[in-house]
Amino acid sequence: MPKVKIVYGEETRQTEAEKGDLLGDIVVNTGLPLEQPCAGRGTCGLCKVIDEGGLSPPDEIEREHLTPGELAVGNRLACRARIAGDTTAILTPVVVYSNKIFRASSRFKREKDVPLGLAIDLGTTTVAAYLTMLDNGEVCAGAASLNQQSVYGADVISRLAIAAKNEIHKDRLHRLAVASINQSIDALKLSKSIRERVTKATIVGNPAMHHLLNKLPLNTLMVVPFQPFKKDTIEDAYKLFKGIFPPSTKIVLPPLIGGFVGSDALACLAYFGFDETTSPIAAIDLGTNGEVLVSDGKTILAASTAAGPAFEGVNISCGIRAIDGAITSSLIDGGDFSFETIGGVPPIGLTGSGLISTIHELLKVNLINKSGRINNNSPLFKKWGINDDG
């Protein structure tokens, strides 16, 4: 009987199956998580796994639900894929797509002779993709999805430690990064004709994400002074993404700065013109890997910190990513809360910016003190009918 190995982060379950058995049934029997809203009928297309070998070829329903990029990175539907031999399949987290709010240009629809580019931020928690005009950098569309590497831990240190100990996990972290980039591009919902106009893709990220994506040695990143193994620009990274981008697309990974300050921070410096300013300027990125960039007009200083994923709505009880209904800012006026949400719909949770805004408002009205502790003596609690015990 074929042996079947199901991998979810560092956890592995092994079993045996008959040839022709459905992978989804096997996963369910292991007790590992698998999203199947349609109960395995093949209609929702959400039970995606990554095939490492041993499954039957994709059938018509899989080809209908999976994009060419997903098929290229080995995505399969567990409810359709059948065991053909010894099998290994990687389970990925539930896919979460986020809205990205910005002023977008529709000029690309009118001026069809202008080449297009993709700007991709491989973040520790979120992978964002933007379609841009290459003549002037205008943003045309944006979308984001969860970094599937999160099954190996929310922070970069956990993922680096796992990859450093085990080459198999290191390769899987690479594959999950590629699959996450593909998902963020798919979330843009670009037509075939628009995709064919993409002539350049630029991918940025912090040094840990950069090294895991490129399968570079990790030893120098994990010991003092925490420097990248290689900081140089990668001018041609097409071989990492074969099947996701058109063959004519040039894929570039810009250089890293150093330490845990990566090409994402470099992109921030370039966008805000740190190299051109003559007056003081600062930029702060409150991501899972946080960066602070400052300049006095002459010298640019950069530093990073392991901020954790709370600023992206993760690991807080009412946290949520940037989807419709997510609170982006809060206001307390006379004891009454009001919220701004994505899409202008009723609130369902806090984004990172909503969390920061809410804490700011709570501090202003003395509901919490500077240490972050709740002030149980606040008169607002009585107004809201909340006693000292909460």
Hey, what long-range contacts does 310-314 have (CB within 8 A, 24 or more apart)? 310/352, 310/355, 311/286, 311/287, 311/352, 311/355, 311/356, 312/123, 312/125, 312/126, 312/287, 312/288, 312/351, 312/352, 313/349, 313/350, 313/351, 313/352, 313/355, 314/125, 314/154, 314/288
Cα separation of 261 and 263, whole Å?
A: 7
**Spans of all domains in the chain:** 3-91, 97-271, 316-383
Architecture of the 3-91 domain: Roll (3.10)
Half-sphere exposure of residue 252: CA atoms within 13 angstroms, side-chain side: 16
Whole-prediction pTM value? 0.79
Render pLDDT for 327-349 as a digit per residue (tens, 0 to 9). Answer: 989 998 877 889 999 888 999 98
pLDDT for res 96: 61
C-alpha torsion angle, residues 186, 189, 194, 198 (rounded to 10): -30
pLDDT for res 314: 67
Q: Which fold, 97-271?
A: Nucleotidyltransferase; domain 5 (3.30.420)
Per DSSP, 371 falls in state: T
Render pLDDT for 347-376 as a digit per residue (tens, 0 to 9). Answer: 998 888 888 899 999 898 888 888 888 888
Closest CA to 70 of 51, 56, 54: 51
Render pLDDT for 56-93 as a digit per residue (tens, 0 to 9). Answer: 999 999 999 998 899 999 999 999 999 999 999 999 87
Closest CA to 153 of 124, 178, 117, 122: 124
**Integer angstrom CA distances of residue 327 from 318, 332, 344, 354:** 10, 14, 9, 5
pLDDT for res 173: 94
Collapsing DSSP to helix, strand or coil, 45 comes out as coil
